[in-house]
Amino acid sequence: MSNENITQEEISAMFPKAAEMIADALGCDLEKVQPTTSLINDLGAESIDFLDIIFRLERGFKVKIPRGKIVEQARGPLSAAEFEAGGILTEAGVARLKVYLSEVPPDRFQSPLKVSEIPKLFTTETFCKLVIRQQRAAPAGETPAA
């Protein structure tokens, strides 16, 4: 699924409501949830929080977000072997991830990068894009919530 043509306008429109849901899920002040905030490193999010955020976004935007498939989506056209080896992203994998997570400042991509550490890169914008992709993927006839 292509995501590179998600516009900044779409993300900006999504951001206020998504940020509010993320702040509620993490029990933090709304001001702390900025577009490039890393949810794990900056706000201390844990796996249960990601689950909470995903379900809040699903309810709030009336979309179904495929759980456990974010890494699969990030891989795009690459095979699993092209994307990672022994739990470490390949050079091609990192390049692909930088495209998929284009909202993440480049200096946050550590080298080597473990697959298990990918969620540390997720920002508020990552979740906005996730919702936008699912809204676009909604079956014909279903009107995603604004």
Partner 1 sequence: MDGHFRAFSFVDRITRPGMNVRGLYQIPSGIAEFPLALAAEACGQLAAWTGMAAHDFKLRPVAGIAPVVELLAPVRPGQLLELESDIDSLDAEAISYNALAKVDGVPVLRLQHCVGPMVPVEEFDDPSALKQRFELICGAGALPGAFNGLPSLPLEVTAVDPGKSARALLHVPASAGFFADHFPRRPVFPGTLFMYQVTELAARVAAGVAAPSGNTSWVPRRINDTKLRTFIPPGTGLELEARLAKQEGAALTIHVEAKKDNRVTGHSRIVFMAEARA
Q: What single-letter amino acid sits at 28?
A: C
d(CA 74, CA 1): 9
The tokens for 45 are 């999010």
Prior bond of 112 cis (ω within 30°): yes
CB of 135 to partner 1, least distance (A): 18
CB of 80 to partner 1, least distance (A): 18
CB of 20 to partner 1, least distance (A): 14
CB of 33 to partner 1, least distance (A): 16
- Measured from the CB atom, the residue of 48 and 140 that comes closer to partner 1 is 48
- Measured from the CB atom, the residue of 64 and 114 that comes closer to partner 1 is 64
- Measured from the CB atom, the residue of 45 and 132 that comes closer to partner 1 is 45
Contacts 24+ apart (CB under 8 A), 137-146: 137/1, 138/63, 144/61, 144/62, 144/63, 145/60, 145/61, 145/62, 145/63
- Measured from the CB atom, the residue of 55 and 109 that comes closer to partner 1 is 55
Q: How far is CA 118 from CA 106, 109, 123, 130, in A?
A: 13, 9, 11, 15
Residues lying near partner 1 in the complex (CB under 8 A) are found at: 24, 27, 46-49, 51-52, 55, 59, 64, 67-68
